[in-house]
A and B are shown apart, each in its own frame.
Chain A
Amino acid sequence: MDTLMNFLSALCLLVGALICVSGAVGVNRFNDFYTRMHAASVTDTLGAAFILIGLMLISDQFIVIAKLMIILLLGLIVGPTTSHVLAKAALKNGLKPNIPEQSRNDISKK
């Protein structure tokens, strides 16, 4: 049981770290602000959730698990809200999303 928990927690931590790295790669490689924002926010929140779950699996006291759960809840509330606010501010200030020509013609034809 103990080794199973250790193994699961290590798996969760690794997956969380990989998700965060993929988010960083996405932020670097996308060329439009909105897609970059999407990559950063989704992967940040999910990666942080996985890392916190991995930490929850190997903690032995209940108080530690409770604190980690509260941190997870806060992260789930605050992360998407801030990315929403950022994207809305960008849209309000006139930054247009970069729709490629083909899909723009498809949308306007419908």
Chain B
Amino acid sequence: MNIVLLTFLLIVAIAIIRTRDLFAVTMLLSIYGLLSASFFVTLDAVDVAFTEAAVGAGISGLLMLVAISITGRKEQSAKRKPFIALLVVSLTTLLLFYGISDMPYFGATDAPIHNHVAPRYIQDSMGEVGIPNIVTSVLATYRAFDTFGEVVVIFTAGIGVFALLSSSNAHSQAKNIIPDQNSMDKRHLVIRIVTKILFPFILLFALYVQFHGDFGPGGGFQAGVVFAAAVILYAMLFGMKEATKVFSQSLVQVVAAIGVLLYASVGVATLLLGGDFFDYNSLASDPIAGQHIGILVIELGVGCTVAAVMMIIFFSFNDLQEQPKADNNKEPEL
């Protein structure tokens, strides 16, 4: 099973490199994300598979399509053949293979990774943290600082996209966006009705995943992505004006910042209450309750930031798309 999936991954990767049409490349990237998610499921890493399916197979394909609608569909052909780069890459590959030959076998019990930290997490997690999902406890408690870095990276990406793509005339353009005539426009009837039916359930599912991360696969990242996907779907079908009535640009930016602030303030609170940075034992009188409170608040922060950043990226791309381009580059109408 692993071999079949890895072979498919290899074939899709080669196809991605060789294809010239960027639209097809985006579809192939989504397929790559789906295959990676299945591969993670066969490796018993369900949380990671969930995140990969939501991000790689879903959102990132969508954001790339929006980017293509601005840049154009054909990849420019290379002017000259870069032989030096090929030499450097081959040399690095040979060195990597040489390094891999020394690694312990996959899943061997005497490998160092299975002997130092992992047994302590697996055995002590239930007693120290008290939630069944060990992945969440490692992510949110034992390695809270690393997750803090991840959230800051996502926030920085959102700021970067916003800084690059928003221009001074974007705000005047926003006033000129012509709203669609009425929300039950005859052209798009089927998909608008289906979206209206599904939209509350998608949001509900996002909230469920957010708060269920303690007991099953889930947590802040997946929940944020699903939430942002629902809002982006609504914005695509009903127009930006309708979507910005609820989720205006400034609200989304503020929510992104609040997410990171929540996360950091939990750490500062633990410092002020006398423990280490991100040591949740000091948050409440009972250490286990303190752990639960800490995990809840930081997952909330992560979910807020991820959802808001995805929405920032999509809205920034949309603001940039002023006039429709030439025929073969225009994103096809629905």
Instruction: List chain A positions with a Cβ less than 8 A from chain B.
Output: 74, 77-78, 81, 84-85, 88-89, 92-93
Task: Decide: B334 and A77 in contact? CB cutoff 8 A.
Answer: no
- For this complex, into which size category does the number of interface residues on chain B fall? under 10
Spell out B's residues near A (CB within 8 Å): 190-191, 194, 197-198, 332-334
B333 touches A89 (CB 8 A): yes
CB <8 Å contact, A89 and B334: yes
Contact A77 B194 (CB under 8 A): yes
Q: A84 and B333: CB pair below 8 A?
A: no
When chains A and B are docked, how far (Å) is the Cα of A81 from the Cα of B190? 7
Distance of A58 from chain B, by nearest CB (Å): 19
Known: A77-B194, A77-B198. A85 touches B334 (CB 8 A): yes
10 additional contacts (CB under 8 A) given A77-B194, A85-B334, A89-B334: A74-B198, A78-B198, A81-B191, A81-B194, A84-B190, A84-B191, A85-B190, A92-B334, A93-B332, A93-B333
A residues near B332, Cβ cutoff 8 Å: 89, 92-93
When distances are taken between beta carbons in the complex, the residues of chain A under 8 Å from B197 are: 77
Interchain residue pairs with CB less than 8 A apart (8): A74-B198, A77-B197, A84-B191, A85-B191, A85-B334, A89-B334, A93-B332, A93-B333
Return the chain B residue nearest A84 by Cβ.
Answer: B190
How far apart are B99's CB and chain A's nearest CB, in angstroms?
39
Q: Which residues of A contact B333 (CB under 8 A)?
A: 89, 92-93
Give complex CA distance A81, B334 in Å: 12
Residues of A within 8 A of B194 (CB): 77-78, 81
Cβ distance B24 to chain A, nearest Cβ, rounded Å: 14
Q: How far is the CA of A106 from the CA of B197 in the complex (A)?
A: 42
Q: Give the CA-CA distance A74 to B194 in the complex, in Å.
A: 11
Contacts of B334 in A (CB 8 A): 85, 88-89, 92
> How near does chain A come to B199, taking the closest CB pair, in angstroms?
12
Bound form: Cα–Cα A77–B198 in Å: 9
Q: How far is the CA of A107 from the CA of B67 in the complex (A)?
A: 43
Chain B proximity of A5: nearest CB distance (Å): 25
Shortest Cβ distance from A79 into chain B, in angstroms? 11
Residues of B within 8 A of A89 (CB): 332-334
CB-CB under 8 A from A78, the residues of chain B are 194, 198
For B190, the chain A residues whose CB sits under 8 A away are 81, 84-85
Which residues of chain B come closer than 8 Å to A93, judged between CB atoms?
332-333
**Measured CA separation A88–B334 after assembly (Å):** 7
Q: Which 7 A-B pairs have the closest CB atoms?
A: A81-B194, A93-B332, A89-B332, A85-B191, A89-B334, A92-B333, A84-B190
- CA of A85 to CA of B333, assembled, Å: 10
Expressed in whole angstroms, the Cα–Cα distance for A82 and B32 within the complex equals 20
**Which residues of A are found within 8 Å of B191, using beta-carbon distances?**
81, 84-85
**Once the chains are docked, how many angstroms separate the CA of A19 from the CA of B190?**
27
On chain B, the residues within 8 Å of A84 by CB distance are 190-191
Nearest chain A CB to B195 CB, angstrom units: 9
A88 CA / B190 CA spacing, docked (Å): 11
CB distance from B239 to the nearest CB of A (A): 17
The docked-state distance in angstroms from the alpha carbon of A79 to that of B332 is 20
The residue in chain B whose Cβ has the minimal distance to the Cβ of A70 is B201
A92 to B327, CA, bound (A): 13
